[in-house]
Structure 1
Amino acid sequence: MQNYILPTNGRLQKTAGSGRSRFSFNLSELSIRGLVTVILLFANNAFADTYWLGGISNDWHTAGNWTAGVPDASDVAEIQAASLPNVNPIITGAAVAKTVIVAYGGFLTIAVDGTLSIADSQGHGLDVYSGSVENNGTLNINNVAYTGIGMSDGLFTNNGTINIGNAGDIGYAGIDSDASTFVNESGSISINRTCKAATNCGAMTNTGSGSFTNKASITIGGVMPGLYDGRGLWCADESVFFNEAGGLISISRTVSDGLYNGATFTNQGSIDIGAAGDIGGDAIFNRGYFDNTASTAYINIASDNIINNNLSGEFYNGGVIIENASGNSKITQNTGVVQNLNGGSFLIPSGPAAITATGQIWTGFSDAEWNNPSNWQNSLVPTATDDVTIAHVATDLVVGSINAVAKSVTVQHDATLTIGNSGILTISGGAFQGLLNKGTVVNNGLLKIGLITSPGSYGIRNEGTFNNSSGAISIDNATQAALYNFSGTFTNSASMSLKTAIAAPFLIHSNGGAISNAATGTLSGTGVINPTHFSNNGGILSPGYSPGVMTFNGDENFSASTLAVEVNGTGVAGTAYDQVVVNGTATLEGTLDLTFNFPSPVTGDVVKILDATALSGTFSVVTGLPDGWTINYDRPNPGELSLAYQVILPVTMIRFTAKKLDSGIKLDWQTSEETNNKGFEIERRLDSGMWEKVGFVDGNGTTRENNTYSFLDLRPLPGMNYYRLRQMDFDGKVELSRIVGVKMDSGKMLKIYPNPTTGIVNIEGGGSRVRILDKLGRPVMSGMIINQKIDVSHLPSGFYILSVPSESNVKSISMIKQ
């Protein structure tokens, strides 16, 4: 017989015996809760029991490990400490039971691929008394008369999924943890349909000297119809509840208070109350010690419910509290942020922090659109003079196909701001920063900060998750840095153009977290980048704004990125060409993409595009490097990367001279070698400084022999005449020669007109006689000039030289007879 006694702790125990189970207990020692437990255990043991032996293995599904075979849906399965080592049961695959009892050193493990489904229990679904449970898989509990999970002096570690009441009613609490330790390590807990047969109960209770730690997700009332009665989360006695940073507790659809605390409650994560459904009582009723002081602590009360801090309670806030109560809340001290979005107020006896934020506050009461007045606290769409606070409410804000404006924007913890593909958000004139992000920002449109007036110290200060996904960001006039990543993650996958005020110490600065210029990102700007938390993960870095200087205040790795550099000349870095400065080691091996707008480089030109303390490696890919330019590492000095221009001329010029003749100016030049030489354009300099073409002489293609060329300028200008040769290749490339000059007499020049002529020619600036030569230099006509005219109508059409003696020399000019 198996006998049971109920000690003062209210738990039923077996006593020695034989035959069918019977029970004995001492009523004088029976507590009220113990009596309930006795009744429930009697009910459970009215059906078949099977007890864990573990005689064969640790496999739940092996019949020989149980006294009456593997439990089925009608069985109460009990697990106590195993007599043999390493034979505690492990559930893999699907397991079922009506009730599972883990007691007196028993240990139950649900593996990652395991599922335990408990239903139709007349007592606790899972009763853990001085035992331990580790769930790495799935635990489903439905249709139980008392508590889904009842714990006393037990240990429960959850790394998997727990669903209580999702598909069936729970008579009392979903989880009742009394003097036990419960750790929700990395799993999720969902509790619904509790308190079906009880009043004044809680969906999840932590009592006695118990400890409950949440590092993951707890959702209470997330499934319709929510809770039948009672509170969402109930903490009492000497218990301790710790919601760690990263933990999320969501409570909705309660009949009484959302969270009742009569013990010690510390929140360093997020608590959402009323986001999915109404709360029947207070959002939080506190008569114990409530600590919400961590920088990551966040409480969002989306429903119209207050925080009620009882006279015996202490409630300290150093994090963020956002509520939508029309009534008045009370806390003890505020050193953080408290905002009411629905007309209520806060009674806070002490603390220096502001009770409400100024400016416009997002409520999202109607929809997700920025330009809908009913979505804002004051029912007004923000203007360019408004500081905007985006709170974590049920509806996230979206800047759609509009041009939204603000003085500054703050995105609170767990809030989300999305700028759509056609959306524009313009921020200008903030006191501290243009955009402060503590939640999530996704930009697929256009974000403009400080382009009109300074946004304050920073264009963007990021403490959350910021993703420039497919949009463009432009920042200017920040006094400390265009982008300051205090913590969190900033990812640029599109376009960022950053500027600052002239005296700003940084372009990009960071305190922690990570800034990534992703593979599809382009970052351009002039200024200093703190590289401690910055990485260029395949993106493009483009110094300046055509052009500029980008400085890294420490080592920088360019091996997985593209460095885009523009070269317009050899002047000053940042004005004539882009330059990157690295105050440390520059690791290369990535891509160098060059853009040249340099029309007339000369041999010896050098442009220093990277100036580092030291270089490591070389660029694996270089694009856009024109002919004649070379890339030089550690030249002219160690740590420097320069571009140098050195051209091997297609024509080797031996001499180039100019000589004054009576007929004009003769140019002579000689080459010793020619390659692909089409010929020479002869250019003469005008008084304006421009050069004009005055003739062309064919070249000799490709040759290794000396070649002599000449050209006669029959119409030189008075005074100095400057000439140069524009040597032209057959492929269109050109080279310019040196410049030569000849001074012509400043006296009166010989002029004839019309030229070309058909008959009568007018002559000015000469004597009384004229001599005309054909193109071969043979005389064809001579005679007197009558009334400064001669008749050449009898000459054949062609080219002629007309010479007129003057007092000191003979002046000649070309003439064309038509």
Structure 2
Amino acid sequence: MKTKRLLQTITALFIAGASSTLAATFTADYLGGSIWEQDANWSTTVYPQNGRTRPAPNGDPIPGLNPLYNVSINNPAPCTLGIGVRVEAVNVSMGSTLNINGSIWANTGFGNAGLITLNSTGNFLGMLRAGGDSNVVAGGEIFMSDHFSNSVTAGSHGKILTIAAGGRIRGAGNVNAYHGDDVRTYFQIVNHGLIEALQPVNPLRIFLTDDAAFTNSMVNDGTLRASGQGVLIFANFNNFANVLNEGGTIEAIDNGTVRVQHRSTIMGGTLTTSGSGTIRGGTDFTGGTLNNVTNSGTVAIGPNEIVHLTGTFTNNSLVRFEGTASAAASLLLQDDVTLAGNGLFAMDGQSAGIAGTDVVGRTMTVAPGVTIRGDGIIGAFNSNFTYKILNLVNQGTIEATNGLTIYVSNSQNSNLSNNGGILRAGSGSLLHFESPTGGGMVTNNNGGLLEALSNSTIKFLSGATLINNEGATIELDGGTIDAAAGVDLNGGQLVGNGTFTGPIRNNGGTVAPGFSPGKITINGNYTQGANGILNLEIGGTTAGTEYDQLVVNGTATLGGTLNVSLINGFQPAVGDVFNIIAPSAFSGAFATINTVGFNSTITYSSGGITLTVISSAGQLLNIATRMNVQTDPNQLIGGFIISGSEPKKVIILATGPSLAAFGLSGVLADPVLELYQGNTLIATNDNWKVPAQAEIEATQLQPSHDLESALVQTLAPGAYTAIVRGTNGTGIGTVQLYDLAQTSKSKLANISSRGSVQPGDDKAMIAGFIIGGEGGDDSRVVVRALGPSLAAFGIAGVLPDPTLELKNANGSTLISNDDWQQAAEEAEISSRGLAPGDTQESALAISLPHGGYTAIVRGKGDASGVAVVEVYNVD
């Protein structure tokens, strides 16, 4: 009964208006004693409640018929209010406490520099209501117990509640409304401090006003926080209302949750989370809105939850969709929106959707750095198309991990332009492009990538079409693209291994099967126009695994250009045949055929379009480098690379004593030879007759002096190093390498030597090499002389300015170079990735017929130092 009478009294107070009778205003100072309702605890000798006079037996009454009270709590003893009162104002000083178990209506507002607690146990209890501007100053706090009807609210429109820096409102209940309030008068809330939901059972709700007096319902440059399983809710009963959050932070920490719902809008600022905290949307149809917001935490959209976006949403962390089969998680665009940042939109679970709200064709731009990954639908994603289709511009990454559908529509100006972004079907997934109106377009533009990974399918349904333009790539990486309307390859390229179902119209692009090498299967027709290009690579004799092949289960209509090159060091033999296109039928022929490293003929038939090798380029068969061999680290070092698909048999020689027969003095008396792969010693030899004399003699390349060294080895493709040292001595020596398996499918792709260059012709670095083999065509080589750049590898005493000269077998100079950037072939050397690391180093490129050649490296101005000479067989 007491509680019932109390509630009736409080209700009557709030319904009654202010008296029109003249009244005097008094200051009621709290004197201690802990209880508000005890007269002796106040300087006025009556506890403050507007209109309440002092009883006559205690002395003269307070003047005036309706006294008004300004309440001052400035006492260390806490004051507890257990009833409902109405006063003019309330001020709580620093170090003082006011516990409100009942309620206070302060006509002209309140100020708080101490502690006010709201401790509701039912409706209209634990309430602080102000009819004027009110403040929580630095050091002040309003703390709310864990009850839904605690409230801090306004008694009239157009008033402002300010929380200063250092001020706080914390707990559970309501800011700007109270339980059962039908009038719903609101503050504008200006927060420079902290508003925090931290109770585990009941949320803290901030109700926003659409009052015309305020541009923004709330201005926050402080912190709005949910922590410790607390829930902070932004809501609005009527029209849309804003939180201007520029310079502010909204955060959810330690399992806290922030919900933006009921037509509320967050404008600007930053969202952050930690410790399993989340920012969430609303569970009502309208949801809340994020306008030009930056997310640095986790935004989670649960079943039947909605988050609206306007402006630019910068996501530097995670937006997670948590829909189920029967309840969607929805991200809706109210206007043209840009998704920016470097974060992830994780469309996990089921029924995840991104769409427009009220009109078709809103543009969603996915900026560079943004990733949308998962399942669900982008575009109109409910059965009656209440949510609208989008015009999508992708510069980031959109990736399907199971089943992702993107809607496109020509008639609704809602297509997809992949402008430098990535559209990917992840391994084993489905990526669908579908049109609800029977026609839509996916355009892959400059820098864009459409990619189907292993066992995935990209499918174009309901008339959706694919166009690939200049600079864009369609990549099959073990997956399938199914496009009934086919693709117009107007530029760019189609590459990889996989299947394309539908016609390919190569109007001006490039088709290149494999990743060195591979196969593309076309279930449909292949048409290559005059500007189309087909690039094929040959690295062996098996179609699809060693050389590129195009399988056309339809008609191949040919024109344009065919380019064929060799890879992996493979050297085809004259007469080798390669079935490069396997069509069901064919017409036409290539207008231009380019081959690199060999010559061929093309045979056209429905059984297969084949390439036959009629001649090939020569290859490096031998290198021999002569120089002055000194002690470590200036010993003679020869490097070489074997490329191709088969092992190669070679012989390596280290000579010294026999050079005296050619008029050289100071020769290396007793050379020792070591062979390494990386840091692993493979073999070594001192005197060649021990232990493999017979094997070496069988090559007919044995040294002429017993103290010279030799090794015969069969080596897998890779890089090797031969080192020549003297046994207790120095002098002029050579390292020589010979190819003993010239018809194998591997070749010497690069040979080099390192050592000390001294003044004088007899102490220059002299590298001889032979070009030969079955191929009769010229061989393109790049020769380099390096010195200064060796210092970066810890080599001391490098040759500061090497010069390079190339001679033929007759001793005639063919070409020379001092600084490589002065060479006529500078652009070619750079494009092949062989530019020296220093401008004073030398390089040249030249095509050479079969025969023997000598590269001579000297120091400019008779300088001396360590240098390297290299020969690359590039074609």
What is the TM-score of this pair, normalised by structure 1?
0.38
Larger RCO, structures 1/2 (Cα 8 Å, 6+ apart): 2
What is the TM-score of this pair, normalised by structure 2?
0.36
